């Protein structure tokens, strides 16, 4: 799936079995599955969902999101827009300016877009952290954010 010379990531070892499951899922959702839609589910959405389930694009495992969505809900909808913009800037820098593919940015951005769509403009715009530059730091993370 991803291959920039350094990485060869394949979170679905049984490709044909997955494709049949993907077809069935899309049909169950009332869609007429096309080969391109199945490829999109396989090669774009699956890696993004893999991150939410604790599988990084490089195949390592690390749970960074609260399984019930608290992590992104605590950021608020403006926090999600900020993260989307940050990932867009990173995509632009690496993809356009440096001409290299970075497998991390697009799946992260897809997740932030999904969180934004699910959250809409409901709740506190900046979540529990407060607007940037304020002293409202209400979130206590239970995760260790130090590099491994």
In a domain, 1, yes or no: no
Let me know whether 76 and 143 are in one domain. Answer: yes
Let me know whether 96 and 44 are in one domain. Answer: no
Mean confidence (pLDDT) of the chain:
81
Let me know whether 50 and 72 are in one domain. Answer: no
Let me know whether 71 and 143 are in one domain. Answer: yes
SS3 (DSSP) at 28: helix
In a domain, 4, yes or no: no
For 33-101, what is the HEC assignment? CCHHHHHHHHHHHHHHHHHHCCECCCCCECCCCCCCCHHHHCCHHHHHHHHHHHHHHHHHHHHHHCCCC
Domain that holds residue 15: 10-63
SS3 (DSSP) at 2: strand
Q: For the chain, how many structural domains are there in total?
A: 2
Let me know whether 31 and 102 are in one domain. Answer: no
In a domain, 135, yes or no: yes
Let me know whether 93 and 132 are in one domain. Answer: yes
pLDDT by residue for the chain (148 residues), tens only, comes to: 333 334 344 554 566 788 899 999 999 999 999 999 999 998 899 889 988 888 776 778 877 778 888 888 899 999 999 999 999 999 999 999 999 998 888 999 999 999 999 999 998 899 887 887 765 544 444 444 444 4
Let me know whether 133 and 70 are in one domain. Answer: yes
In a domain, 2, yes or no: no
Domain termination site, one of 23, 40, 63 = 63
pLDDT of residue 1: 36
pTM score of the predicted model: 0.75
pLDDT of residue 13: 54
In whole angstroms, what is the distance from residue 109 CA to residue 91 CA? 9
Interhelix angle 105-119/76-91, nearest 10 degrees: 160
pLDDT of residue 72: 87
Domain termination site, one of 63, 78, 94 = 63
In a domain, 109, yes or no: yes
In whole angstroms, what is the distance from residue 104 CA to residue 125 CA? 26
Let me know whether 77 and 144 are in one domain. Answer: yes
């Amino acid at each position: 799936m991803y291959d920039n010379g350094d990485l060869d990531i394949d979170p679905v070892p049984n490709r044909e079995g997955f494709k049949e499951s993907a077809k069935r899922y899309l049909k169950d959702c009332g869609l007429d599955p096309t080969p391109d839609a199945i490829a999109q589910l396989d090669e774009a959405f699956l890696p993004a969902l893999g991150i939410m389930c604790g599988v990084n694009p490089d195949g390592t495992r690390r749970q960074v999101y609260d399984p019930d969505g608290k992590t992104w809900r605590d950021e608020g909808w403006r926090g999600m827009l900020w993260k989307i913009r940050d990932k867009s800037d990173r995509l632009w820098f690496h993809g356009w300016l440096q001409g290299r593919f970075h497998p991390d940015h697009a799946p992260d951005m897809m997740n932030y877009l999904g969180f934004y769509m699910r959250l809409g403009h409901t709740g506190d715009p900046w979540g529990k952290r407060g607007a940037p530059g304020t002293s409202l730091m209400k979130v206590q993370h239970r995760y260790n954010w130090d590099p491994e």
